[in-house]
Homo-oligomer: A and B are copies of this chain.
Amino acid sequence: MNFRSDNILGCPPAILEAMARVNDTPTHPYGHDPITARLNPRFSEVFEHEAFVFPVSSGTAANGLSLAAVTPPWGVVFCHRLAHIVRDEWCSPEFFSGGARLLTVDGPGAKIAPEQLDGQVRLTTHAGKPSTLSVTEATEAGTVYTPDELGALVEVARSHGLAVQMDGARFANALVALGCSAADLSWRLGVDALSFGATKNGTLTAEGVVVFRRDLAEELAHRRKRAGQVSSKMRFFSAQLEAYLADDLWLANARAANASAHRLGEGLRAAGLELVVPVEANLVFPRVPRPLRDRLRTQGFEFLDWPALGDDVVRLVCGFATPDANVDTLVAACRA
């Protein structure tokens, strides 16, 4: 049983069906098709604001493009030391931005502490131009900034003239955890560019960059084309995103994943394991002593060690289609 990542799952049937439907009719390539044409209006509806969405093929590309849209090549991006962009993306932010710098800030639960952001920006005198705050929502520790928390952070960012980019690889998980609207967690807080995660939560090969200003959209059109992210059959990416939003599939998926994680977290706690951060989205971080870890792996459970959050900590990820039975089996194995 695989708790290694959200990405071990494929997609709900609706996504493949949407792709199959698109396949029936020849149409214009490179995004000049009716499916893609429907995306901006649809996202504008979802976000309650004029929105421009750019389908891309990976979260790394979405992060790189959205960061580059708001950061000059000599700009400094401030992010949490546990952020995906700084730990996992193989110098991709530097590549997409043409040389910007990431500087890390700390804070409990993988959330940036406002006063630490303020301090780090003030220390940045000749390293580069302080340019961008990057926040991850939900965070890499599975915690969720409240709108108030994000607001406080954005206020610090604005006081230093920083733009705000959001890595929303688990944006839907955060939304349903908070009971927030997409607007409440993005442009209303001052988010300029959003990496709109979809793959972890149910699409196959489609992510999106969402911006709320026409000037950023124009720049992104250039950047996306140059980065090889204008697929000739873009409609198959667009169809995934459309089906993902239809009938609130994305929110239902996120709710299922979060519920699984809560079930898992409660089960583990009841089994006597300590959770080093509270379960707020779809990630669970228990401390699992090595003998138990080894035994679980021998029994076929798959998961990653996560030393960044402490000794013996492992990461367990639930997805939109993680069966309760799997969760319960893992809990039982831990209890045994």
Contact = CB atoms under 8 A, between A and B. Distances in A.
A20 B29 contact: no
Contacts of A89: 126-127, 225-226, 228
A263 interface: no
A19 to B, nearest CB: 7
A2 interface: yes
Contacts of A92: 225-228
Contacts of A16: 16, 19-20, 23
Contact of A228 (B58, B72, B75, B101): B58
A172 B325 CA distance: 47
Interface string A76-98: 10000000001111111011101
A64 B230 CA distance: 13
Q: How many copies does the complex hold?
A: 4
A61 interface: yes
A114 interface: no
Nearest to A100: B91
A204 to B, nearest CB: 5
A26 B2 contact: yes
B24 A10 contact: yes
Contacts of A72: 222
A49 interface: no
Interface of A: 2, 4-5, 7-11, 16, 19-20, 22-24, 26-30, 56-64, 72-76, 86-92, 94-96, 98-102, 123, 125-129, 199-200, 204-205, 222-223, 225-233, 236-237, 308
The 8 closest A-B pairs by CB, nearest first: A61-B228, A7-B29, A10-B23, A57-B57, A94-B99, A60-B228, A7-B232, A98-B98
11 contacts: A16-B16, A19-B19, A23-B204, A57-B231, A58-B231, A74-B225, A75-B91, A76-B91, A91-B128, A94-B100, A205-B205
